[in-house]
Structures are given as C-alpha cells and as structure tokens.
Amino acid sequence: MASLLLCSINAVGQQMQPAQLKDWRQTAAAVTPRWWPHVKDQLEKQLSVEDFNQLSTYNPWDKKPPQMSWYYQVFLNKRDSSVFVNEMKALKMYLIGTCINTLNPKRADEQAILKIPYAENKDWNDTLKWDYVYILTLRSNVELLPK
C-alpha cells in the first residue's frame, strides 16, 4: 500500500512567519527516509534552494545541538523542565511550512516545519554554533508570533 504525505509549504520569496513551540516534548526529526520521498517534488518548487538542499539530507542527530533537545536536557540530564522551556523560548524560529502527514492513514495529523537560524540566535548560547535547525512538530503545537 502506497503511503502519501501531502504538504503545503510557504512559496519561495514569501517571508517566514515568526513562531514559537508550545511544547518542546512534541518534536521529531524533520526528515526521515520514509518522509522525504513523499514530499521532495512538492518542496523543490516551494522552498528556497538552500532550505530544500538542507532538508533533503538533514539529520537532526548531527545538526541539532543537544542543548535544544527535550530528551537530552530534561529526560537524560534531569534538568528542570521549566528552565529548559524558558531557554527555548528565547530562540528565534520561523514556520516555513505545514504538512498533512498521511503516512499512517488512521492518523492524518497536520504537522509544521520550523527553522531555527544560527545567525539570529548566535547569542543564545555562546558555546554553540549551527547553521540551521529544522523542527517537525504538530501544527497545533505552534504559536504564530507577530512579524
């Protein structure tokens, strides 16, 4: 049975929408081998070349600093979750797209792709450096902020 993942991503040239996660526990890798083949043709026409190329090979385990990981910071390191959430709220991030995930036909959730650029967050933690972090989460877990 073929699975399908439908996406609608902001068209190239549109401004990214400032956003914030409501719950950092509800995040996942933005790209998996099952996910990418279903969306790459749509995304190629809709994302900037840079975002498309980044997402096509994105591995959050290599790209996402552990300081941004709920699992690493709170579950494994036993940090206070409220401290972690407050630190994460200081990050500037943008909603760059939404997807209706129909890989599992019984659960067609609307998902959101968020982008966290280093250039706008370089003072967040002066011991870290990354290019971009992409986050996949439920759309209902994203709060849009004023531009």
Full-model pTM: 0.80
- Could you report the per-residue pLDDT of 67-105, keeping only the tens digit for each? 888 777 877 788 888 888 889 899 999 998 877 776 666
pLDDT score of 118 more than 90: yes
Provide the H-helix boundaries in the chain: 36-46, 49-56, 60-63, 70, 81-89
Return d(Cα 72, Cα 95) in angstroms, integer: 24
- Could you report the per-residue pLDDT of 21-50, keeping only the tens digit for each? 998 878 875 566 777 777 777 667 777 888
Helices (H) and strands (E) in the chain — how many of each?
5, 7
Residues 6+ apart with CB under 8 A from 55: 30, 31, 36, 43, 47, 113, 134
